[in-house]
């Protein structure tokens, strides 16, 4: 499964502490915790002794202790203490399955398999000091990761799902836009939408210029720049990263990373706007059938304005993505 060789976000960085936390990535149960050096560890959530869930255990002196018989594992997953046999020196076989993990975008990223280095999906706004970053989520969504990416790329639903906010049914027509393939997915440029309430600071309906980019099979970003006269905050622009943990083929955990030219609104106010928008999307997303995205373009019907989603399906097929899709 090629997806195992990619980095995926699994949890907010700030929620990983010295209390073990359970997570699931690509149907692999994980335990996440911080070791004595403050580094995040992501392991299989299964003790090698009798299979108990390590996420029910605790951390003592930088070691993870199993909840069942108290075996302790050091930061590389090696068992270093068996309380029932204090003199026993556990051999290398007495170890937990560990996975590569790192932190970026306020999230913990995990990679289940694969040789050598793999790069994390880019989020272009991350290093832009003019944009403040706030994460929003997680949302547990009963939809496949590719259906969620496709929804993010789709402007055609604005007037219906987000009526009065990102669109209106009276201005549903979509202007011509361009889509090009990139090494990591695709880029859609020249996208325009007339939006009644494009962002937190909108004072009037306005035309908003969008660009979209798929940066990995389950990761995307957009930038939106509203007509300056429509916003109370001078020079307002924003970028939104969509980060998805594919939990099962039909269940996903979703975060948005907001990068906004707004250093004054409280975090919660920024999150509330995004929450309003996404909870409009969620019931429709969860209603889609089949939940797995069909990659055969003959399986669903398309129009010219759906070309970003058709390009996304072609990209997934070309990459041999298998999780959350119907090949
Ligand atoms: Fe973990 Fe026995 S099952 S110590
Ligand atoms: Fe939407």
Atom of ligand 1 nearest to the CA of 57: 1
* The pLDDT value given to residue 182: 97
Share of the chain above pLDDT 90, in %: 94
pLDDT at 234: 87
Q: pLDDT tens digit string along 57-108?
A: 999 999 999 999 999 999 999 999 999 999 999 999 999 999 999 999 999 9
Give the ligand with the smallest distance to the CA of 57.
1
Residue 151 Cα to ligand 2 middle (Å): 6
Angle of helix 307-318 relative to helix 145-153, nearest 10 degrees? Answer: 150
Q: Is the pLDDT of residue 167 over 90?
A: yes
Q: Which atom of ligand 1 is nearest to the CA of 50?
A: 3
Mean pLDDT of 310-314: 98
Residue nearest atom 4 of ligand 1, based on CA coordinates: 69
Q: How confident is the model over 253-279, as a mean pLDDT?
A: 97
Query: In the structure encoding, which two tokens stand for residue 275, read together?
Result: 């929450």
Q: Is the pLDDT of residue 229 over 90?
A: no
In the reported structure, the alpha carbon of residue 58 is separated from the centroid of ligand 1 by a whole-number distance in angstroms of 13
- Ligand 1 atom with least separation from CA of 51: 3
Q: Give pLDDT, residue 30.
A: 98
Residue appearing with tokens 């930038």 = 223
**pLDDT, position 319:** 96
Which positions ≥6 away from 229 have C-beta within 8 Å?
204, 206
**Ligand 1, atom 2, residue with closest C-alpha:** 69
Q: Which pLDDT does position 263 carry in this prediction? A: 96
Relative to the alpha carbon of 155, which ligand is closest? 2
What is the average pLDDT score of the chain?
96
Ligand 1 geometric centre to CA of 72 (Å): 9
The closest residue, in CA terms, to atom 3 on ligand 1 is: 50
**Helix, strand or coil, per DSSP, at residue 215:** strand
Q: Is the pLDDT of residue 235 over 90?
A: no
3-class secondary structure per residue, 283-302: HHHHHCCCCCEECCCCCCCC
Going from the Cα of 282 to the center of ligand 2, the distance in angstroms, rounded, reads 8
Mean pLDDT of 277-283: 98
Of the given ranges (7-11, 42-46, 112-116, 159-163), which has the lowest mean pLDDT? Answer: 112-116
pTM for this model (two decimals): 0.97
CA–centroid distance, 229 to ligand 2, in Å, is 24
* CA dist., res. 216 & res. 26, Å (int): 15
Distance 7 CA to ligand 2 centre (A): 25
Cβ atoms of residues 206 and 232 within 8 Å:
no
pLDDT at 66: 98
Q: Any residues with CB less than 8 A from the CB of 183 and at least 6 apart, and which? A: none
For ligand 1, mutation pick of 58, 66, 95 (most atoms within 8 Å of CB): 66
CB 63 within 8 A of CB 46: no
Q: What is the pLDDT of residue 275?
A: 98
At 97-120, the pLDDT tens digits run 999 999 999 999 999 998 877 899
Predicted local confidence at residue 116, as pLDDT: 78
Residues at CB less than 6 angstroms from ligand 1: 47, 49-50, 52, 66, 68-69, 71
pLDDT at 227 over 90: no
Q: Check residue 1 and give its pLDDT.
A: 84
CA distance 190 to 175: 9
Q: Please determine, for residue 257, whether its predicted confidence score (pLDDT) is greater than 90.
A: yes
**Ligand 1 pocket, mutate which of 20, 50, 80 (most atoms under 8 A from CB):** 50
Give the Å distance between the CA of 57 and the centre of ligand 1: 10
Mean pLDDT, residues 184-209 taken together? 93
Distance of CA 51 from the midpoint of ligand 1 (Å): 7
Q: What is the mean pLDDT of residues 322-327?
A: 98
C-alpha distances out from residue 21 to 54, 91, 140, 175, 223, Å: 9, 27, 16, 46, 33
Q: Which of 243, 257, 23, 277 is nearest to 145 (CA)?
A: 243
């Amino acid at each position: 499964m090629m997806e195992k060789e990619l980095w995926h976000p699994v949890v907010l960085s700030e929620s990983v502490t010295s209390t073990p936390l359970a997570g699931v990535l690509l149907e692999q149960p994980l335990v996440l915790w911080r070791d004595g050096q403050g580094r995040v560890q992501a392991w299989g959530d299964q003790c090698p002794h009798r299979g108990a869930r390590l996420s029910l255990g605790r951390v003592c002196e930088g070691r993870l202790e199993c909840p069942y018989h108290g075996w302790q594992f050091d930061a590389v997953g090696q068992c270093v203490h068996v309380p029932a046999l204090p003199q026993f020196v556990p051999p290398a076989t007495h170890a937990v399955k560990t996975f590569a993990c790192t932190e970026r975008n306020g999230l913990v990223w995990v990679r289940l398999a694969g040789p050598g280095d793999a790069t994390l999906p880019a989020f272009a706004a991350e290093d832009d000091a003019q944009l403040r970053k706030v994460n929003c989520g997680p949302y547990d969504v009963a939809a496949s990761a590719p259906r969620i990416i496709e929804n993010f790329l789709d402007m055609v639903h604005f007037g219906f799902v987000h009526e009065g906010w990102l669109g209106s049914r009276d201005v549903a027509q979509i202007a011509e836009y361009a889509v090009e393939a990139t090494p990591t997915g695709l880029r859609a440029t020249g996208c325009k939408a007339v939006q009644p309430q494009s962002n937190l600071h909108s004072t009037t309906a306005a035309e908003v210029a969008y660009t979209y980019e798929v940066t990995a099979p389950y990761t995307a970003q957009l930038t939106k720049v509203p007509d300056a006269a429509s916003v109370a905050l001078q020079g307002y622009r924003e970028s939104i990263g969509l980060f998805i943990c594919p939990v099962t083929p039909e269940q996903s955990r979703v975060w948005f990373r907001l990068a906004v030219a707004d250093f004054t609104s409280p975090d919660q106010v920024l999150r509330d706007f995004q929450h309003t928008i996404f909870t409009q999307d969620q019931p429709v997303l969860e209603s889609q059938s089949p939940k797995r995205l069909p990659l055969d373009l003959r399986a669903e019907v398309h129009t010219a304005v759906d070309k970003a989603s058709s390009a996304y399906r072609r990209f997934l097929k070309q990459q041999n993505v298998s999780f959350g899709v119907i090949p």
